[in-house]
Chain A
Amino acid sequence: MDLVLQLLFTGIGIGAVYALVALGFVLIFRATNVVNFAQGEFSMVAAYLMVVFSVDLGWPYWLSFLIALAGMALLGVIFNLGVYYPLRHRTYLPVIIATIGASILLSNSVLAIYGPQPQVLQGWFDTPGIQLGPVYLDSQYLLIIAVTILLVLFNFWFFEKTLLGKKLQATSQDKEMASLLGISVSTMIMITFIYSAVLGGLAGILVAPVLFVSIQMGSTIALKAFAATIIGGFGDVTGAIIGGLALGVIETFGAAYISVPYKDGFAFLVLIAFLIFRPQGIFGERVAEKA
């Protein structure tokens, strides 16, 4: 039982990481119908920004944190203008390839500037964790879980209760209709990219103390987050969170009770099984194209 509890905590912790990154995927997907393959690199870049300001320059943690997030917002703007916007009238394929190009560009630019050594970033708290009975709770994972919960609430409030959120919703559901209503679609998409870059960055900064800061930290997480997105349902924010958590738990238990080396395979196996046997079960009914 102790074992199960410990695994459950870890699974939820790592799942929350996937969920945070998946959230960024979903937001961009809903707004633009495009899968952003550079989402993982957003996390990586933000973690490096933290290292630059907090470790190298020795600035206060909170200040570095704010600067890093501001940097991510800027990156979101550049990404939109440089990668998505020029291709917005094309099909999803060229855009996917462009985001792949952006991912290669970002990760190798960081490599060129910062060198290949993995870096250490301190966590938010000084205590590494708490022993709660038989279960050890890593403080950084606790923070990640807390932030995830807060983000779910925030997203709910933002998209359902605020005017800006409703505008974003409208844009992602029907661009033509939104522009007829006087919503500037390109502004909404810009905001989406900024928000999703900041979210990705937040995820990167949060996991950096656990997984260290390295060039490939983003891409490994992003692939899982992508799977989580599909399991939870593309185009639904809550779905992404649930998918991420489910994936983390499945993976951890799969590793503990079936096989460690095949750990990375469970996520994808579950995914394929879902897609083949019950696609409508996770996505809801696919509405047929209007003839």
Chain B
Amino acid sequence: MKLTRREFSAGLAAGLAAPALLRSAHAQGATIKIGMCAPVTGPAAESGGYAIKGAKLALEAVNKAGGILGKQGELIVEDDQTTNPGIVLAFSKLASQSDIVGFLGSIRSTQVHAMAPDVLKLGKPVMIGGTDPNLTHMGNKWLFRFRPNDSYSGRVIAEYGVSTLGKKKWAVLHSTDAFGTAGGKALTEALQKLGAPPVLDQGYANQSQDFTPVVLAIKQSGADILGSYFTFENDLGIFARQLRQLGVNIPWVGSPSIVNITALKLAGPALYNTYGVADYAEDSSDASKAFGKIYRDATKVAPDNQSAWTYDAVTVLAAAINKAGSTEPEKIRDAILAIKKFPGAEGEYNFDQNGDGLHGYNIVKNDKGKIVFDKHIESND
């Protein structure tokens, strides 16, 4: 009885979702499917392209090495439009294909928040790149994070600036979106713990056309070091240029966006000699170098964290399924959580019970436009 009703509704739903249904019917059973929500359109469309590339490269490698449970892996991408309603729809569309065994969520924390209730309902593992610490601490056991969360980036920035660079008068600058607010908070807290509370804590709204008031505030605060969380590269580029033009040359340690290739291209010399925390640093390990080579060969573009985390997510997910010997969600989950000392492009994965795979950051330096690995700082808690 239940079956016929479902068939009936599926027939009706076919009118609504015909293309998707046709596609999934035709490929039934031949492959192991991994779903991916990525921003193909919208403001983050650029990084979305990198993310998809990274995931595809990983899947190619997995397939070459024998696939997943003996079958070829297949990536199904849905556009999340860089919006929250967009990702909810994209995810529910993927979730309705029952043969998808695992998913890649977003690198944007608010989007992960938006899709989280549906993830919990579906009960299948979702790999995420959003770095808001709360995501893995809100009782959703199906989220697995492939980047170190912001409590680590804040700690690492503070640690590096205070201990290595020896600076105590901090200006903290962050965007007022979810990512920037959480990061700024983490950095401020870490600085307070180190006995160096910031002299200026300044938020800014995304897509600002001008940063003169911010730069002047930094100048006036007497800060001798700057810590920053920028979301969009064009904001970072405008700020960096104005900072230099108005004669501020204090050391600057920034969140990962400061070493991302678009930012380097836009800001040019204005970012020379800055430091960044990077979850992906090409020279930080052999696995990172290996990924860098594959990615460069395939795309002719320098690799960054946008592609590295999806590369790791697909690799780890495939390894976990193979180890579990099953596509049953609970078993995959156990297998992921059991992963220790797994060498990934982003670093060494040691999953804890919250689903956080990474617990440290690399510090890199912008040496005349070239990103140079400086050191890795791991937190042990």
Are chains A and B touching directly in their complex (CB below 8 angstroms)? yes
Q: Is the CB of A7 within 8 A of B266?
A: no
Residues of B with C-beta under 8 A to A212: 234, 237-238, 266
**A128-B245 contact in complex given A111-B45, A260-B204, C-beta closer than 8 Å:** yes
B41 contacts the other chain (Cβ, under 8 Å)?
yes
Q: Is the CB of B209 within 8 A of A117?
A: no
Residues of A with C-beta under 8 A to B176: 261
Residues of A with C-beta under 8 A to B217: 256, 260
Residues of B with C-beta under 8 A to A263: 204-205, 208, 213
Residues of B with C-beta under 8 A to A3: 216, 220
B212 contacts the other chain (Cβ, under 8 Å)?
yes
A216–B42 alpha-carbon span in the complex (Å): 9
B273 contacts the other chain (Cβ, under 8 Å)?
no
Q: How many residues of A contact B (CB 8 A)?
A: 35
Residues of A with C-beta under 8 A to B247: 136
Contact among A7, A108, A210 for B216, CB-based, below 8 A: A7
Q: Which residue of B lies closest to A219 (CB)?
A: B207
Q: Which residue of B lies closest to A209 (CB)?
A: B241
Contact among B43, B203, B204, B234 for A211, CB-based, below 8 A: B234
A185–B127 alpha-carbon span in the complex (Å): 60
A263–B208 alpha-carbon span in the complex (Å): 9
The majority secondary structure among interface residues of chain A is helix
Query: 8 Å CB contacts to A: which residues of B37-59?
Result: 41, 43, 45-46, 48-49
Q: How many residues of B contact A (CB 8 A)?
A: 33
Q: Is the CB of A252 within 8 A of B238?
A: no
Q: Is the CB of B262 within 8 A of A264?
A: no
Query: 8 Å CB contacts to A: which residues of B196-223?
Result: 202-205, 207-210, 212-214, 216-217, 220
Q: Is the CB of B205 within 8 A of A136?
A: no
Q: Is the CB of A6 within 8 A of B212?
A: yes
Q: Is the CB of A211 within 8 A of B266?
A: no
Q: Which of A10, A128, A251, A264 has the most CB of B within 10 A?
A: A10
B265 contacts the other chain (Cβ, under 8 Å)?
yes
Q: Is the CB of A214 within 8 A of B234?
A: yes
A252–B212 alpha-carbon span in the complex (Å): 8
B227-262 vs A, CB cutoff 8 Å, 1 = contact: the mask equals 000000110011001000111000000000000001
Residues of B with C-beta under 8 A to A216: 43, 207
B46-79 vs A, CB cutoff 8 Å, 1 = contact: the mask equals 1011000000000000000000000000000000
Q: Chain A residues in contact with chain B, CB under 8 A?
A: 3, 6-7, 10, 14, 17, 108, 111, 115-118, 120, 128-129, 136, 138, 210-212, 214, 216-217, 220-221, 251-253, 255-256, 260-264
10 further A-B contacts with Cβ under 8 Å, apart from A108-B41, A216-B207, are A6-B246, A7-B216, A118-B233, A128-B245, A136-B245, A210-B209, A212-B234, A260-B214, A260-B217, A263-B205
Task: Across the A-B interface, give the 7 residue pairs with the lowest CB-CB distance, nearest first.
Answer: A256-B213, A116-B45, A116-B46, A255-B213, A10-B212, A261-B203, A261-B176
